[in-house]
Structure 1
């Protein structure tokens, strides 16, 4: 079963290397302009491994004759599977409609006409999403019509679960996001 949120097709890899948005015909579907990193995939795999143990214990508890406890374990296992899938889907996605940032608990989408610029900055960034910050690079999105710093959203960092230890992948993803913003700005401007 193909998992489109885990793998990028060959066309997207070639276009990502060239920092060019996909042809206009393919721009309607949401796509992530980079592959998920090993830290993200490893975290998802560990959650799925834990879910398998919890679901297997649910089966053992059900066979032992405690149906309420078995249901509780089964629900916990299903929640772990859902969290693993959501963790693997997390990231920045683009389409002709706009840019979408998928997080573990929420998703935010901005249309291209609401985006003033997407650029790469040197700034303190979170290391693997933890409270600890280190000096690094971040791809930030500035919204149109507002001047406060609260309108700035961090789309990617070079110390996130997708790019830690993969500086080339971060540079390609940043170039692709900037190219999408420039192309969409010309289309809507």
Structure 2
């Protein structure tokens, strides 16, 4: 597929908070592991380097997380895996109001963007109006949703 993927929005400042929180959590895990097992010398360096490498990879994936578009299709980059689809594989783009049940209570979780595939399946995107990119920027969330819909409609109208 395309090499010209574009994320139609700037990442929010919440990503840096998540990365900092993960750094703190892994530093605490490193400290606890070293104290628990009385590590010294090479053992200490191995644990510290291993958890630092986990943090670097995780931070890189968090920075790359999101939905990217190109004239050929859409790319959804998650924390663990990525998924590319051509526009012709997508039947529609819609908002989904997600909720969680906690006993008799239903907790509103905000809107997410879903891609409806031609085969009837749906694909969750990383776009969530209360997520780290859009929590304080609801207008940006709506604009991104409209941009993805517009690109899908343009691709569907062009049979080439």
TM-score category, normalised to shorter length: 0.7 to 0.9
Residues 30, 125 of structure 1: alpha-carbon distance in 2 compared, 3 angstrom cutoff: farther
1:184 corresponding residue in structure 2: 155
Q: CA RMSD in A?
A: 2.7
Question: How far does the alpha carbon of each residue in 1:74-122 deviate from its partner, in whole angstroms, 9 at most, with x for none?
Answer: 121011111011011111111123111111111111111101111234x
Counterpart in the other structure of 2:132: 161
Task: Show the counterpart of 1:171.
Answer: 142
1:152 counterpart = 2:122: yes
Residue number in structure 2 paired with 1:15: none
Bigger share in helix: 1
Could you tell me which residue of structure 1 aligns to residue 35 of structure 2? none
Q: Is the 8 A contact 1:142 1:153 kept in 2?
A: yes
TM-score under structure 1 length normalisation: 0.66
* Residue of structure 2 equivalent to 1:69: 44
Report whether the alignment pairs 1:80 with 2:55.
yes
What's the counterpart of residue 91 of structure 1? Answer: 66
Aligned residues: 145
Residues 73, 87 of structure 2: 8 Å contact kept: yes
Length-normalised TM-score, structure 2 = 0.76
- Separation in structure 2 between the aligned mates of residue 66 and residue 135 of structure 1, nearest angstrom: 47
The list of structure 1 runs, each at least 4 consecutive aligned residues, that deviate by more than 4 angstroms after superposition, is 48-51
Bigger fraction of residues in strand: 2
Q: 1:158 to 1:125 in 2, by over 3 A?
A: farther
Q: Which runs of 5+ in 2 are unaligned?
A: 32-38, 101-105
- In structure 1, the gaps of 5 or more residues are 1-26, 58-63, 127-131
